[in-house]
Structure 1
Amino acid sequence: MIESKYNWQMNQIDDPQAVGKLAKEANVDETIAKLLLQRGIDSPDQATNFLKPSTASFHDPYLMHDMKKGVARIQQAVENGEQITVYGDYDADGITSTTIMYEVLTDLGATVDYYIPNRFSEGYGPNVEAYRQIIAKGTSLIITVDNGVAGNDAIAAANELHCDVVVSDHHSLPEVLPDAYAIIHPRIKDADGKAYPFGDLCGAGVALKIASALLDELPTDLIDIASIGTVADIVSLTDENRAIVKFGIQAIKNSQRPGLLALIKEAGIQLDRFDEQDIGFAIAPRLNSLGRMKDATVGVELLATFDEDRAAELAKFANHQNDLRKSLVDQFYKQAVDQVEADGVANKSTLVVVGDNWHQGVLGIVASRLVEKYQRPTLVLTTQDESDDAKGSGRSIDNFDLFAAINPIRDQLVAFGGHHSAVGLTVNKQNIQSLRDQLEKAAAEQQLDLSVKPKLEIAAKIGVNRITPEFVDKLKVLAPFGQDNPKPIFDVQYDQVQNVKTMGKASDHLKFTLDQGNSQLTAIAFGKGALAPQIQAGSNSLRVAGQIGENTWNNRTTLQLMVDDLNQAAAPVIDERTRVLHEQMFAKSGTYVFFHERNLAQLKGYFNGDAKAVMYDQLINGNRSDTEDSQLFIVDCPDVIEDLTKVIESCRPTTTVLYLYKKQLVSKIGMPDRNSYAKLFKFIRENPNINIATQLKHLSEHLHIAARTIVFMVQVFLELDFITINDRVINLNPHYAAHDLKSAPSYRLREEQLKTEKQLLVSDTHKLVKFIKDCLDS
């Protein structure tokens, strides 16, 4: 049995007329029309705007709060030659928004520098001491990007030192806004109660809008950088963000930026096939790793430099930092799992893992992976030798507010912040147990139900034979995919699964093929290698949900399914056919059925405990209550197939495991032809007193008939009274009468054995399982 990780929710559009109408009016395939309707796009104009963004998709930047005021102050600083410092952040959005602001000001001839705080010594957002140092060096205007809306203290300090601060941010608004010169933010409403038309811009998106206002046009040379920040920050890929990423990807494909090209090369990305996934899974992690591991400042230099040698050097450094980050995550994750397993997880609703001298920059990633594995809210902390405090990060699941859970004891914490799904905190080591207790208490108060699975939105059911390159090309019109525009997940229909194998150094990934008619689709399930033994080749009981993608290797592109979830009920029939029986095969509880007494006698010593060995006729003729709704093991192969069907129909087991052991296949010998019978009969008639014990080998060589076949034919002759055998000496019966060979019991048994072997031993798994299921259903 393979239990699904998610609760599959079919996103049905049950209005064929609406689908057909939109498909016709928007001139799109009906599948695309259905997917558009699932996304709330139900008119031709909406469909056109969504599928084909244009420059008209970009809103007037001056509709954003304080844009006019902020831009005027920036222009004043440029004209007066004031020192401007762009104050950024250490993640990919912060790096890209800093790059955008720095580049546009440089192009305008400004005296400008940038500053990115250190994650470990300064933390996120405006820092009082950092502001003071920046101002002391001559800065009279600070422009924040991707931060600042909650920087009240630092901005107040800047005001005291006669330095203006223009905040550009997109994060949640605090109850009290800072006293900044201007706050450019897409969610702040103006005096007339109106906010910017699209509130889901990231930091880089807001920076791009400021650049647009400063230049009085869309800065197409900066949209590549904005698209990276937009994808990296996982904001809604609708409206203006969709246009930013759509145009940005095209710009990246034609990019002349040495740093970006060097980074793409280090990541092993094919530039002509570049898409949003390359940003999300290759570019963004490398930029993020700079801030996670050490100092993100070089990230801006990497994106902005036009020195190819320096670009190559910085790209290699970013790649190295990313490799180091991945190595540390793997190391700490393994230690964390060991700790969780040692402590026991069954009776806990939440997890708190404490490491020793773990790198603080990767704790959030480790927490995310633990949430993925255990589906529980998780805190990952680390202690440091030189400190009495533990620092850490937390991640949560949809139905648990992690911030609200910890907030009641925030006075016991050294530092604390975050939101529903993610928190950061510092706690004295002595208060870690109190933190654990509070989380468990909050789980009870919030009525956390761990049996509730997260939802998996299924776009549609689709057969493997419909998944073609043409179909995938149609899906691409919906790209770029991301938040609020997810890549469609399909419940894939097929006839049978084949080629089940594991992959990866630790065999921790799963690979198999889904067959339907003449069509095949390779499926990859990361992290699910342990499930391989439970998936039977030839079966169709496995439900598979995933995203359709492409894999290019050696300039050859094939389609593949990236599996999101698997589900398989306990298989009613399990094919474990074997030519060798060993003791471990009889360790499970259940009823083991034999069709040959000699096999039962040889193996009787293997059975103990709840395992029971019986001859088949006991189940057909006796009390079947002990085996009904239980596990039945068919140990050896019957001679007559009806004997097996009677056992199955009589017992009606929940699970039938088929060993079907047979030492030698009769089908390898076959049925002798009439000419062989005639040759043997003639020899016996012309050569009386044949000793079958001593002359068999000679007889076989003389007649060119296998010895086992001769023994079989002799048995047929004996049963038909064609011959007599006394003390192993064969002679023709002088009074024999003509009989059809087929009337001999041994002949009929051989025919049944051949029929049975063909049905049970020679057939593939799919046919065998279907045959047994038909018996169960009859």
Structure 2
Amino acid sequence: MEFRWEIKSKADPITVQSLSSEINVNPTLANLLVNRGVDDFQQAKEYFRPDLDKIHPPFLMKDMDIAVDRLVQAVNQNEKILIYGDYDVDGTTSVALFYGYLHEFYPHVDFYIPDRYQEGYGISEKGVRYAAENDFKLIVSLDCGIKALENVALAKSLGVDFIICDHHTPGEKLPDALAVLDPKRKDCNYPYKELSGCGVGFKLMQAFVEKTGKNASHLFGYLDLVAVSIAADIVPITGENRILAYYGLERLNNNPRPGLMALILAGKGTRSLDELLSNKHLLQREMLQLKTDKDINISDIVFRIGPRINASGRLEHAKASVELLISKDIQDALQRAELVEDVNSARKNFDENITKEAIQMIEDMEAIRPYKSTVLFKEDWHKGVIGIVASRCIEQFYRPTIILTESNNKATGSARSVFDFDIYSAISECSDLLEQFGGHKYAAGLTLAVDKVEAFQEKFEEVVSQRISDIHTKPVLEVDDELELDQINYKFYNILQQMTPFGPGNPEPVFCANQVYARNIRVLKDKHLKFEIVQDGQQTFPVCIAFGFATYYEMLNSKMRFNIAFEIRENTFRNTSTLQLYVKDIKFD
């Protein structure tokens, strides 16, 4: 896919020079920092050294005092509490954190995850009635509930109190819950608006700890789950999220809970889970190696851990993921992870087959006329993977995409968007055709009557056509700055590493080098390239790894000059570490 490079503007030179002198870094790094909102020594100190003491007081959140008082009352009066969570990664980690921490000292607590196929997203009538029939006096919902007006009202009529912890955009009216914790509420003055659902649940637990005088450090031991939610839900890694993610990753790399350790071992793939279960010495060695490597990052969560947690909720029931995450024993966790692995393998097969069908349908549509959007419907597609399929379609056709299937006699679907296009807002314009919808700028879910799918396709295409511009038609590669090759060294790289964790809002820096040529080119596995680049006047010849660029071999071998965009990575082979350039794109003159 062809990228449109967007090279960031140079920051104010006076500010850059001042910061460069204050913290003793070169102007390129200072410019990088200023473009990320780091302007002076104090901000740089907070950026490079995240501090848990800097997270916001939880009682700044609207309704937090009400929520904590009710939770304390429930504990003091031995009331039954039901923790209700969504079935995705954010929801299941939320439940694992809240239930796991509370259950350590309070026995009258249980959790509930709705069935994706029988109940659908959010607070279900079945879930509310389950709570009432089993004498639960309080429901705490996590990562859902902000639009559940009818079922929260039902709970109230049945004598069940509701505390909502959500991070999705509220509707015009809030549910009539006892407390609604959502930093995106218009009347909420909480300083940071981009918490994950698990992050909001963590803030309620933090407030509970402060109110009851419990040891906060024990609660902070659950930050590995918060980090997983932040990464998997693709919320910005800025401000408070960055602090929580930083310490969560530290826990994940040093002493993850057994369920996450099992998922990390599964994702590593060097040993089967069967082998690890049957050989304790091998298991201990693998676990020790992970702690020695300490290389789990946000990307690993997104591509290796998150999909495995999601798998059970996509194909079967997400309760299995929660049970894995709250497991206290590595042997038990490995057994549960093995079941999740089986489901994840099945998920991959569904994903691959449905993606092929969807791409063929888009190509057939293209033969009729060009579209600005994609809306596809097929009644037998698996509901659990349609969000993944939407993302796959964007990788190939790059336009706002909605994939729909039939569930409970309704058309239900997942939407994904392209860079800087607000798909939630576009869907909102079609609300007269919908029964339910919700989500974010880049991802949303929706439900409508099957007989309205065609009308929705037409209206959504009309809305997108009116709103979309040329800048949305090609994927954007944001380039932070141009480098000369001699600037690439370990001193430079080590400072870049102090800017982690990288992710949305704090992306891994991408640089470009101009007018270079390649030498010592090798093709790897018929798909990838490995080569050195040379730049006139420079004495450094970095090795580049270019995944999926094998078709560029002849042009590179011709010694043609090109511009190259890349990230700087460290490669370790046989105990020897070197810097390599991870190629993002190549543009020939």
Q: Into which bin does the TM-score normalised by the smaller protein fall? A: 0.7 to 0.9
Residues 4 and 566 in structure 1, CA contact (< 8 A), matched pair in contact too? no
Q: Give the Cα separation in 2 of the matches to 1:449 and 1:19.
A: 32
**Which residue in 2 is equivalent to 1:635?**
none
1:544-575 CA deviation, whole Å, 9 max, x = no partner?
21222233445443433333333224xxxxxx
Q: Give the Cα separation in 2 of the matches to 1:138 and 1:433.
A: 45
SS in 2 for 1:162: coil
**Which residue in 2 is equivalent to 1:313?**
335
TM value normalised by structure 1 = 0.67
Which AA in structure 2 matches 1:326? Answer: K
Residue 283, structure 1, aligned to residue 305, structure 2: yes
**Which residue in 1 is equivalent to 2:160?**
163
**Which residue in 2 is equivalent to 1:771?**
none
**Which residue in 2 is equivalent to 1:535?**
555
**Which residue in 1 is equivalent to 2:495?**
474
SS in 1 for 2:83: strand
Q: Give the Cα separation in 2 of the matches to 1:210 and 1:568.
A: 53
Residue 77, structure 1, aligned to residue 74, structure 2: yes
Which AA in structure 2 matches 1:179? Answer: D
Q: Give the Cα separation in 2 of the matches to 1:438 and 1:241.
A: 37
Q: CA deviation at 1:502?
A: 5.0
Which AA in structure 2 matches 1:514? Answer: I
SS in 2 for 1:53: coil
- Of 331, 334, 342, 2:353 maps to 331
SS in 1 for 2:567: strand
SS in 1 for 2:246: helix
Residues 535 and 542 in structure 1, CA contact (< 8 A), matched pair in contact too? no
- Of 149, 171, 191, 1:197 maps to 191
Larger radius of gyration: 1
Residue 106, structure 1, aligned to residue 116, structure 2: no
SS in 1 for 2:483: strand
- Of 389, 398, 405, 1:375 maps to 398
CA RMSD of aligned residues (A): 2.7
| Alignment of structure 1 residues 715-754 onto 2, 5 Å | none
**Which residue in 1 is equivalent to 2:387?**
364
Q: CA deviation at 1:34?
A: 1.7
**Which residue in 2 is equivalent to 1:547?**
567
Q: Give the Cα separation in 2 of the matches to 1:470 and 1:561.
A: 15
Q: CA deviation at 1:139?
A: 0.7
Residues 394 and 423 in structure 1, CA contact (< 8 A), matched pair in contact too? yes
Which AA in structure 2 matches 1:391? Answer: T
| Alignment of structure 1 residues 549-568 onto 2, 5 Å | 549-568=569-588
Q: Give the Cα separation in 2 of the matches to 1:187 and 1:391.
A: 25
**Which residue in 2 is equivalent to 1:464?**
485
**Which residue in 1 is equivalent to 2:209?**
215
Q: Give the Cα separation in 2 of the matches to 1:427 and 1:117.
A: 20
Q: CA deviation at 1:132?
A: 0.7
Gap runs ≥5 in structure 1: 570-778
465 and 294 in structure 1: CA distance in 2 versus 1, 3 angstrom threshold:
farther
Residues 349 and 450 in structure 1, CA contact (< 8 A), matched pair in contact too? no
Q: Give the Cα separation in 2 of the matches to 1:423 and 1:267.
A: 27
554 and 117 in structure 1: CA distance in 2 versus 1, 3 angstrom threshold:
farther
**Which residue in 1 is equivalent to 2:259?**
259
1:349-374 CA deviation, whole Å, 9 max, x = no partner?
22233446222111111111212221
Residues 2 and 475 in structure 2, CA contact (< 8 A), matched pair in contact too? no
Which AA in structure 1 matches 2:9? Answer: N
Which AA in structure 1 matches 2:176? Answer: D
| Alignment of structure 1 residues 124-139 onto 2, 5 Å | 124-139=121-136
Q: CA deviation at 1:9?
A: 2.3
Residues 382 and 390 in structure 1, CA contact (< 8 A), matched pair in contact too? yes
Residue 292, structure 1, aligned to residue 290, structure 2: no
**Which residue in 2 is equivalent to 1:685?**
none
Q: Give the Cα separation in 2 of the matches to 1:207 and 1:419.
A: 19
Q: CA deviation at 1:343?
A: 3.5
Q: CA deviation at 1:419?
A: 4.9
SS in 1 for 2:99: helix
**Which residue in 2 is equivalent to 1:714?**
none
1:595-628 CA deviation, whole Å, 9 max, x = no partner?
xxxxxxxxxxxxxxxxxxxxxxxxxxxxxxxxxx
Residues 168 and 440 in structure 2, CA contact (< 8 A), matched pair in contact too? no
Q: Give the Cα separation in 2 of the matches to 1:499 and 1:435.
A: 54
Q: CA deviation at 1:432?
A: 3.9
Q: CA deviation at 1:196?
A: 1.3
| Alignment of structure 1 residues 501-520 onto 2, 5 Å | 503=524, 507-516=526-535, 519-520=540-541
**Which residue in 1 is equivalent to 2:18?**
21
Which AA in structure 2 matches 1:313? Answer: Q
Report which stretch shifted further, 19-28 or 420-429. Answer: 420-429
553 and 263 in structure 1: CA distance in 2 versus 1, 3 angstrom threshold:
farther
| Alignment of structure 1 residues 384-423 onto 2, 5 Å | 390-398=411-419, 400-407=421-428, 409-413=430-434, 415-423=436-444
Residues 202 and 229 in structure 1, CA contact (< 8 A), matched pair in contact too? yes
Report which stretch shifted further, 223-232 or 345-354. Answer: 345-354
Residues 78 and 110 in structure 1, CA contact (< 8 A), matched pair in contact too? no
| Alignment of structure 1 residues 680-691 onto 2, 5 Å | none
201 and 416 in structure 1: CA distance in 2 versus 1, 3 angstrom threshold:
closer
Residues 293 and 321 in structure 1, CA contact (< 8 A), matched pair in contact too? yes
Residues 387 and 403 in structure 2, CA contact (< 8 A), matched pair in contact too? yes
Which AA in structure 1 matches 2:340? Answer: A
208 and 389 in structure 1: CA distance in 2 versus 1, 3 angstrom threshold:
closer
336 and 45 in structure 1: CA distance in 2 versus 1, 3 angstrom threshold:
same
Q: CA deviation at 1:382?
A: 3.4
Q: Give the Cα separation in 2 of the matches to 1:514 and 1:521.
A: 6
**Which residue in 1 is equivalent to 2:445?**
424
Q: Give the Cα separation in 1 of the matches to 2:472 and 2:71.
A: 54
Q: Give the Cα separation in 1 of the matches to 2:406 and 2:77.
A: 49
Residue 242, structure 1, aligned to residue 239, structure 2: no
Q: CA deviation at 1:398?
A: 4.0
Percent pairwise identity? 35
Q: Which has the higher contact order (CA 8 A, sep 6+)?
A: 2
Q: CA deviation at 1:379?
A: 2.4
Q: Give the Cα separation in 2 of the matches to 1:18 and 1:511.
A: 39
Which AA in structure 1 matches 2:533? Answer: L
1:488-547 CA deviation, whole Å, 9 max, x = no partner?
11113463223555545xx45555442456644343444444x33553315243322122
**Which residue in 2 is equivalent to 1:206?**
200
Residues 152 and 162 in structure 2, CA contact (< 8 A), matched pair in contact too? yes
Q: CA deviation at 1:404?
A: 4.7
Q: Give the Cα separation in 2 of the matches to 1:388 and 1:169.
A: 28
Which AA in structure 1 matches 2:361? Answer: Q
Residues 89 and 145 in structure 1, CA contact (< 8 A), matched pair in contact too? yes
| Alignment of structure 1 residues 705-724 onto 2, 5 Å | none
**Which residue in 1 is equivalent to 2:510?**
489
1:208-231 CA deviation, whole Å, 9 max, x = no partner?
222222222352211222111122
Residues 464 and 494 in structure 1, CA contact (< 8 A), matched pair in contact too? no
SS in 1 for 2:542: strand
Which AA in structure 1 matches 2:234? Answer: I
Q: CA deviation at 1:392?
A: 2.7
Q: CA deviation at 1:85?
A: 0.6
